[in-house]
Amino acid sequence: MGIRALYEKHYKKLMIIPFLLLLFAIIQIAYQTVTTGDFIHKGVSLKGGVTITIQKPISVHELELFLKKKFPKADIQIRALSKAGKQTATIIEASDINPEQLQSALKENLGNDVEFSTEVMGSALGESFFKQTTKALIFAFIFMAIVVFFYFKTFTPSIAVILAAVSDIIVTLAIVNLLGIRLSTAGIAAFLMLIGYSVDTDILLSTKTLRRKENPVQGIYAAMKTGLMMTATTLTAVTIALILAQSPVLKQIMTILLIGLLVDLPNTWLQNAGILRIYLERKKKKWER
């Protein structure tokens, strides 16, 4: 059986895939919330703490072992910045630690002549940023849902679009958590962008499918020609940006978008398309009675 025949005949069974992904994602987020108290890994910009940038290549592993041994209760993350495959700088992000003590430990380990820049984010300010960006994400989603309902004016197609967008956000967030990515304010902005990318393909699919009520499969294929091309071009641009970007902020945005765009594929073309087919086939049976 070919892929096309499998997709057309067993679309209900294929819908299990995105729904299982959503279920596992909800379980992961719930587990993390219970065990850590937060549903995401917060970076310094959302949690508060100190960021130190050392403008020279050093051993990340050795420095991490030293600092974690010296400050066992602190939350310390160290990453290297590279250019053309060579390490150019080192960034240290730490929470629950005194900045002066951290600077003193760095001089002890690297020598008094080491040069670094320090940026301190208060915990209250970080929490304020987190609340504001979360509210922005929620309001963006609410207004998106209102626009979708206003555009389609029918319950099932509107819910299908919204469910696909919700699934994109939740599954992407769970994968980001599993990868241990610490979200910054830029990461929240990436999720806002992801809502737009998700809704674009889902509205395209719903519009073309609803226009071909008598043959929804043809509508799905018509949407695929445009939708998959849109996703492929965006994935290409995001991948190139991820490879070439030197800024940690840009890398985080592109990483989240890359994950979200890949997650959107089953949510749009299996979940949303399946719901639309079931809706139109049931509607057609009512007309024939």
**CA neighbor of 253 nearest in space, from 195, 201, 191, 196:** 191
Give yes or no: residues 53 and 157 share one domain.
no
Domain finish residue from 121, 142, 176 = 121
Average pLDDT over residues 161-170: 93
Give yes or no: residues 78 and 187 share one domain.
no
Give yes or no: residues 153 and 30 share one domain.
yes
Number of domains in the chain: 2
Domain finish residue from 66, 101, 121 = 121
pLDDT in tens, 171-210: 999 999 999 888 888 888 888 888 888 888 999 999 988 8
pLDDT in tens, 116-134: 777 777 666 667 777 887 7
The CATH code of the domain that includes 188 is 1.20.1640.10
Name the residue range of residue 189's domain. Answer: 13-42+124-288
| Position 4 in a domain | no
The whole-number pLDDT of residue 87 equals 75
| Position 2 in a domain | no
Give the sheet arrangement for strand 49-54, strand by strand.
Answer: 75-83, 86-95, 49-54, 116-121
Domain finish residue from 121, 144, 161 = 121
The whole-number pLDDT of residue 289 equals 55
